[in-house]
Structure 1
């Protein structure tokens, strides 16, 4: 009897373990399904349209909606008089003039390819006997012979903007140049020309890296990127005025330090990726948006008791953001914020003391213990962001480009990609023209 009972208990324990594993597997699948349902690039839907869909676009207001109109141009290049018709188009009667009103039309000038011949003088040095040739400021290359026909600076600037700034593949970039301007160029020729533009932009790129290293606050992020079919990483380091991209073969501290510098001592507003914590001289602020999203996802799949811990963390983080907002509105002094921060930290410490049985709660608690000193840095530093939103925005155009044409074929092309998109994005931030 005792042996049968022992065997039954052992069998039931095995079944319980199997059910726990199955339950955990199903919970993970549910979490993945919930995350995929909220992705920006949702899969194609085969369902029919909604009966009463929500109206697209923004609500009407002083800057958007019905009140928005194209402004009247400050200067006019051409005036065209439009006379009345000889008879009424409705009944055929005579027409009497009552006044003149103006309508304005903004048009693109008819494109025309400009072909320039540079008659270059070639000579030889009397001292060293080396070959010397002239160079005009409008030339983009010193090539002669079979490579004497080159694209001009405006054509190169437009091609670079289309390919790197807007994410068009080389084939479509060539199609735009031909259809809009009658300029025929091959994809291979464009690729080589854009690589030369990146080479000339290298000093500017290095200057941007130095600005990032000397910035008081930097927001980094990274996303996957394909180079020759292999997984590399697109890094983005952003400030209010500068953004630097770097495509690296890894996602570790070495790659991040190549741009940021191993001894970076400013504020680092980042997500929870452990590599960023290796910048020991930096002052850290972890992204609260990531933590709040994680809490929401846990609450959706957790039971009543299991959801208590993520709800507690969610309330603490939301209270921290409310303190920031009250200070920015002038409703709270810095001293009041400091006192309230101490209370939030005490609440957080009490919430992290228990030993949680749920694996998800244990993982969240361990993560918060590691990030404990980086949770509320923004409350001590007015103006410091509480999320890595800036870097997420910098990464987003690269994600769109990745969806359009996948990545780069070579490491040289990847470096050119990083150089040019860094310059273009920085120009956008500073409201400057890249051309």
Structure 2
């Protein structure tokens, strides 16, 4: 009796490419714990799998995604504009307690890059963006971004709104100044929304805004001198980045908030709440890479399972894994030509 040789993509693998894709999809996109993945495979597909096999599939996919995720990072470092944000995470344990870490994201219109790090410092932001990054960067006021040129940075006005509200909540002279700052903020957003819906020409918006900018600057300087210590300190910190409050006024297409970045990281926040973080650096590599893939493909309206299946197949065959970079439409290529 003779037997044919198994295809290279099957030999040595108990799980097929699509099943492997489904396993990591349930974990990465649908945020199921390993036990929930185990139950879902049994209930939906009649596939019985041990928890260790799920971890092994995640490790395999993490390795397969290494190159395309690195390509995403390279492309983001060349982007004209990006949003950055970070949130708390846990990686491993120290003395029986979860060890603090941070999950970072840098996102553009069609690409997202996640990174889990024990640090919330500027070295992580520099590694993600590249120290030679020259695009416009939208962030909150976190100091890890203060190395970046303020004239290329846009502060999030949602966070500034919270700062001004905190002035009001503390009362006193700072509260009075906070109320005046809120009025200027409301005026600015009213005009900005009109620009977005087309009822105010952008040129008119740019002509009106210098008065608002001067009033806000004056009120913040008054707060530094006259307000209570905490309010005065916050006002002084904002003034260090004063030019970054108004970049969106002079750069068409730039948003005055970091809402896009915050929406992008929300999926990861929910992932953390259901998984309680990761247990090892290897687990963190899987999470940051699968989040990069899921979010990037969602931004591009591409099918995640189809991509993961193709990525696993290519990796097993020793072929280049499909790119995560957006493909230009034929019309765009014609314009470029």
TM-score (norm 2): 0.83
The residue number in structure 2 matching 1:209 is 73
**Structure of greater Rg:** 1
The residue number in structure 2 matching 1:388 is 258
The residue number in structure 2 matching 1:274 is 143
Offset of residue 319 of structure 1: 1.9
1:319 aligns to 2:204 (yes or no): no
The residue number in structure 2 matching 1:251 is 120
Offset of residue 280 of structure 1: 3.1
The residue number in structure 1 matching 2:17 is 153
Cα distance in structure 2, aligned partners of 1:432 and 1:424: 9
Cα distance in structure 2, aligned partners of 1:292 and 1:387: 10
The structure with more helix, counted as a fraction of residues: 2
Offset of residue 119 of structure 1: 4.5
Q: Which runs of 5+ in 2 are unaligned?
A: 94-98, 306-337
Work out whether residues 28 and 290 of structure 2, in 8 Å CA contact, stay in contact via their aligned partners in 1: yes
Matches within 5 A, 1:7-406: 119-120=4-5, 135-136=7-8, 138-139=9-10, 143=12, 149-229=13-93, 230-280=99-149, 283-303=152-172, 305-354=173-222, 355-406=225-276
Total equivalences in the alignment: 296
Classify the secondary structure of the residue corresponding to 1:189: helix
Offset of residue 156 of structure 1: 0.8
Cα distance in structure 1, aligned partners of 2:283 and 2:201: 51
Change in CA separation of 1:360 and 1:374 when aligned onto 2, cut-off 3 Å: same
The residue number in structure 1 matching 2:286 is 416
Work out whether residues 239 and 390 of structure 1, in 8 Å CA contact, stay in contact via their aligned partners in 2: no
Change in CA separation of 1:415 and 1:188 when aligned onto 2, cut-off 3 Å: same
Cα distance in structure 2, aligned partners of 1:419 and 1:332: 42
Change in CA separation of 1:170 and 1:287 when aligned onto 2, cut-off 3 Å: same
Change in CA separation of 1:406 and 1:282 when aligned onto 2, cut-off 3 Å: farther
Offset of residue 339 of structure 1: 2.4
Following TM superposition, where does structure 1 have runs of at least 4 consecutive aligned residues deviating by more than 4 angstroms? none
Classify the secondary structure of the residue corresponding to 2:233: helix
Work out whether residues 151 and 243 of structure 2, in 8 Å CA contact, stay in contact via their aligned partners in 1: no
Cα distance in structure 2, aligned partners of 1:232 and 1:357: 35
Cα distance in structure 1, aligned partners of 2:297 and 2:193: 30
Q: Which runs of 5+ in 1 are unaligned?
A: 1-117, 122-134, 144-148
Work out whether residues 174 and 228 of structure 2, in 8 Å CA contact, stay in contact via their aligned partners in 1: yes
The residue number in structure 2 matching 1:26 is none
Offset of residue 200 of structure 1: 0.7
Superposition RMSD in Å: 1.9
Classify the secondary structure of the residue corresponding to 2:146: helix
Classify the secondary structure of the residue corresponding to 1:179: helix
Instruction: Render the CA deviation track for 1:192-249: whole Å, top value 9, x for unaligned.
Output: 1111011111111011111211111110000111110311110011112111111112
Classify the secondary structure of the residue corresponding to 1:413: helix
Offset of residue 331 of structure 1: 3.6
Cα distance in structure 2, aligned partners of 1:329 and 1:357: 38
Instruction: Render the CA deviation track for 1:251-301: whole Å, top value 9, x for unaligned.
Output: 111111211111111010100001112123870100000111222243234
Offset of residue 165 of structure 1: 1.1
Offset of residue 120 of structure 1: 2.9
Which protein has greater RCO, CA pairs closer than 8 Å, 6+ apart?
2
Classify the secondary structure of the residue corresponding to 2:31: coil
Classify the secondary structure of the residue corresponding to 1:403: helix
Work out whether residues 151 and 244 of structure 2, in 8 Å CA contact, stay in contact via their aligned partners in 1: no
Classify the secondary structure of the residue corresponding to 1:183: coil
Classify the secondary structure of the residue corresponding to 2:253: coil
